[in-house]
Homo-oligomer: A and B are copies of this chain.
Amino acid sequence: MRFEEAYSGNVFIKSHPNLEESQVVIYGMPMDWTVSFRPGSRFGPAKIREVSLGLEEYSPYMDRELEEVKFYDAGDIPLPFGNPQKSIDMIENYVDNILEAGKFPLGLGGEHLVSWPIFKALHKKYDDFAIIHIDAHADLRVEYEGEPLSHSTPIRKACELIGPENVYSFGIRSGMKEEFQYAKESGMYMAKFDVAEPLKEVLPELSGRNVYVTIDIDVLDPAHAPGTGTAEAGGISSKELLEAIMLIAKSEVNVIGADLVEVAPIYDHSEQTPIAASKFIREMLLGWVK
């Protein structure tokens, strides 16, 4: 499948009409079949696009406008309902294509398992890269009730793929005892509860490196992101997440791709979650794509 074919209509505001001329490809991964609690993130990408129409094109945070970054919203990958293995293969293949074309992949989830095939595709292209993981959940399980393909496992798989010393987690406030033990013993970095302060400490040591950033919207407190499947009290504010995006933008790391996952619109009738997500996407575009 070529990714032009996935086009489904609805696009992120100011999406460039031409793929070839674009630096960035925005693509949706409408998958939620392995989630263990409340499904619905399959509609996240479409809703983020829909409410992006209410966004200003200018960011007072980055002092930059959307027209300064050429991005092409390729729509959703048509993932097969209820088939995680095939979905993962399709995503990996899709991101292979984006990387081959020299574009910056900016993915919209969907459940967090979608990041796993992206890591695999990146691993084929880059000798060496690090992952910044911003999330309420450790996602370090080996399996979930017997299923190795689960939304609770992608960061563990990442550690095994690129080495735990290249994985940096922030904001973590939920997981099994074994996950926190693994974090301590494996050599990965994990900051519990907070994001901005520990980022300030860690970013200097990542200077000059290629970094992929994966953000699970549930790192926000449910007050700021009620529209997600596994809400977890005690999270950060959207103001702190905006600060984190700015910190990365102003650092010396070289962002090579990013995703934002787990927006599940049905649990949020005020639409504040997808509205916030669309703003984060704007900031990621303006701050991380040079």
For residue A227, CB closer than 8 A to chain B, the reply is: yes
Give the docked Cα–Cα distance between A138 and B2 (Å).
33
Interface of A is mostly: loop
CB of A269 within 8 A of CB of B267, answer: yes
Stretch of A158-166, A218-226, A252-260 contacting B (4+ beta carbons < 8 Å): A218-226
Give the docked Cα–Cα distance between A276 and B232 (Å).
7
Known pairs A37-B54, A81-B34; A272 contacts B94 (CB<8 A): no
* CB-contacts of A256-290 with B (<8 A): 266-272, 275-276, 279-280
For residue A69, CB closer than 8 A to chain B, the reply is: no
For residue A186, CB closer than 8 A to chain B, the reply is: no
User: Residue A144 contacts which of B81, B175, B177 (CB distance < 8 angstroms)?
Assistant: B81
For residue A110, CB closer than 8 A to chain B, the reply is: no
User: Residue A271 contacts which of B19, B27, B267 (CB distance < 8 angstroms)?
Assistant: B267
For residue A90, CB closer than 8 A to chain B, the reply is: yes
Residue with the greatest number of chain B CB neighbours at <10 A, chosen from A4, A32, A39, A82: A82
A121 proximity list for chain B (CB < 8 A): none
For residue A216, CB closer than 8 A to chain B, the reply is: no
CB of A78 within 8 A of CB of B6, answer: yes
For residue A36, CB closer than 8 A to chain B, the reply is: yes
Residue with the greatest number of chain B CB neighbours at <10 A, chosen from A60, A63, A145: A60
For residue A48, CB closer than 8 A to chain B, the reply is: no
CB of B233 within 8 A of CB of A150, answer: no
* CB-contacts of A129-162 with B (<8 A): 144-147, 149-150
Give the docked Cα–Cα distance between A87 and B252 (Å).
48
Task: Mark contacts of A23-43 with chain B using CB atoms, 8 A cut-off: 1 yes-contact digit, 0 otherwise.
Answer: 001010000111111111011
* CB-contacts of A48-101 with B (<8 A): 49-50, 53-54, 56-58, 60-61, 63, 65, 74-78, 80-84, 90, 93-94, 97-98
Give 8 A-B contacts (CB < 8 Å), ordered by A residue.
A1-B77, A1-B94, A4-B19, A4-B74, A32-B39, A60-B172, A63-B180, A221-B224
